[in-house]
Structure 1
């Protein structure tokens, strides 16, 4: 390996690590707020990329029908609870937020897609489809079992992943897709070639992390999420709704997944099940951070990206094994440094 190859691999590792950092932060956020190890995080990435590819080809993305399905189930649940509790306001809110808004959004996208949209509008449309899937998934799958044990929540999370993967195969098919890059520029930086898309990936990831940092530290809702993550019972006693916190955490996770999908779609072919491996690498980075520290999770993501990149050069058939083996020494090290705390005594 010469210096040019080493720099090229470092650039590739930095690009991958930037995406893994976003996913690690999202997984950590959802776990801290809801105790859910969010296995379907990668599905948001794959669905976002494939939705953008469908819009660029002038086809109505299948995710709008998934959006309508989850909205219909959520609306039925909300209206039923509202009528059962004789809470007319809740039933009306359920009809509006889970019924009318998704129908209007779907109609707009179905109407605009054949007309052709600029790149920015396609990206915004992708966000508009993918981000609501997070809160809807929380309402359908997790809200009613929010107080269950961690094992039950993990089983529900795995079931949600398998269900979404099956839906992805149905609506997108087994073929992979790749989108147009945001920038086709390139620059010569010493011995390596830097593409505009790689700058977009690193820059957008850094900007998103900065926005999340500002949100958690400067806004009321962000501080409420931090309080819920630190002490769920104490936050509830202070008037912070655990349901609202969980809904917001899932919405942010979906937004992060949508952004990640848009960033990586032009540089790699995405299939309906690609998101699982990508999300799993984000989970490894979150484990490096102990599922507690956002900066450590981001640093772990860069480590995962670099390890994957250099492993692909030295031992390409085993690069996935090498990356996932990283979790073992981290878990062993943390097992010697951490005291066991029963979940009921948190």
Structure 2
């Protein structure tokens, strides 16, 4: 291996690591606020990439029908909960209206806009608008009633949600894979390296999102509420912060980050309905490096995972996944020996 090959592998590893960093940040965010190890984070990646691909072909994406089905399920849950607690019909109707308003509106808009042949950036924005509500709906449907359950129970639920989303993804998107067009087709020469425009887009989007997350947590009231909930759920409740609202917001942000990751990774690889699991799992490995608690360490871990994957593929391509996932074992052992932990952890 010479320096040119090493540079190419490093650039490829850092590019993939930037995507894994977004997923690792979302995983840490969700776990810190809700104690949910959200295994299906990668499904948002696949949904984002597939939705944009279908919009590019002028078809109505299966995301629209998938979103409406989830919305209907949550609305039925609202009605059942209202009847169980003997709330008035007007109150139940208002709650159902709040649940269905945005998903139905964006779905109807997508039905009209899909055949219009809009520019790529407009279709990307529509994709984000369609996939982001999945976070809130999945949280309300699967996790909200179990908010105080143990981490193990929440993990088991996450496994079930993952399999459900993969199966529904096959039903709504089909088995065909898609590769999206690049957001920037140019190529730049930096020394002996050729850098694609899409690579620069990935780095810029990752950096911008990290800065926005920092500003959100440091400067906004909602961000400070999420931080308080992450530090002490009971204390946050006593201070008037809704843990339910914090959970919904964290899942919405995770869906947004996942959809954005799907848009960024779509031009670099062919995405299938089940491709998100492996991508999301590598983001989870990066989050484990951070102990599911530190955003800066999650970023460092993600870049390390990307580099390890890239160089591992060069030396032993058949074992690159094994190398990446095996690397987490010494980290888990080190954290187990170093950190005091109770039975719940």
* CA contact 1:78–1:90 (8 Å) conserved in 2: no
Matched residue of 2:195: which SS? Answer: strand
- Aligned-partner Cα distance in 2 for 1:327–1:38: 17
* CA contact 1:79–1:90 (8 Å) conserved in 2: no
Matched residue of 1:193: which SS? Answer: strand
- Aligned-partner Cα distance in 1 for 2:96–2:332: 46
* CA contact 1:46–1:261 (8 Å) conserved in 2: yes
Which residue of the partner structure matches residue 157 of structure 2? Answer: 156
- Aligned-partner Cα distance in 1 for 2:200–2:343: 45
Which residue of the partner structure matches residue 326 of structure 1? Answer: 327
Which has the larger displacement, 111-120 or 237-246? 111-120
Alignment of 1:32-47 (within 5 A): 32-47=32-47
Which residue of the partner structure matches residue 142 of structure 2? Answer: 141
TM superposition score normalised by structure 1:
0.97
Which residue of the partner structure matches residue 14 of structure 1? Answer: 14
* CA contact 1:60–1:110 (8 Å) conserved in 2: yes
Does structure 1 residue 127 correspond to structure 2 residue 128? Answer: yes
- Aligned-partner Cα distance in 1 for 2:113–2:293: 42
Which residue of the partner structure matches residue 64 of structure 1? Answer: 64
Displacement of 1:82 in angstroms is 2.9
Alignment of 1:1-346 (within 5 A): 1-85=1-85, 86=87, 90-343=91-344
Matched residue of 1:188: which SS? Answer: strand
- Aligned-partner Cα distance in 2 for 1:298–1:219: 22
Matched residue of 2:96: which SS? Answer: helix
Gaps in structure 2 of 5+ consecutive residues? none
Displacement of 1:146 in angstroms is 1.1
Displacement of 1:108 in angstroms is 1.1
- Aligned-partner Cα distance in 1 for 2:36–2:11: 33
Displacement of 1:102 in angstroms is 1.9
- 1:258-303 deviations in Å (ceiling 9; x for gaps): 0000000011100111100000000000000011111001100000
- 1:150-187 deviations in Å (ceiling 9; x for gaps): 11111110000000000111112221100110000111
- Aligned-partner Cα distance in 2 for 1:40–1:87: 36
* CA contact 1:82–1:89 (8 Å) conserved in 2: no
Cα RMSD after superposing both structures: 1.2
- Aligned-partner Cα distance in 1 for 2:199–2:34: 33
Aligned length: 344
* CA contact 1:13–1:305 (8 Å) conserved in 2: yes
Matched residue of 1:38: which SS? Answer: coil
- 1:33-58 deviations in Å (ceiling 9; x for gaps): 11110000000000100000000000
- Aligned-partner Cα distance in 1 for 2:333–2:233: 28
